Amino acid sequence: MPDKKKVAAVMAAVNAYIEEEANVAILPQKPVAVASMWQASGRQEIMQMSNLWQRRIVPLR
């Protein structure tokens, strides 16, 4: 029959591991960065001009 102290130590370790895993799941996640509308507009303008240059229909100002 196994030693009662060893069984108690194993059970304590298993319980500590389960509690630690439960606490990790509760931790808040990193906040998601919010995209700026100015950045999106600038990227869209750059992509549109690139597309126009590739099609060689850039309007001359």
Domain-wise residue ranges, the chain: 4-55
Does the pLDDT at position 52 exceed 90?
no
CA-based nearest residue to 48, from 35, 57, 37, 60: 57
Lowest mean pLDDT across 1-5, 24-28, 34-38 = 24-28
Query: Which carries the bigger pLDDT value, residue 6 or residue 60?
Result: 6
3-state SS assignment for residue 52: helix
pLDDT of residue 56: 80
- CA–CA dist 3, 10 (Å, integer): 11
Mean pLDDT of all residues belonging to the chain: 83
pLDDT of residue 30: 76
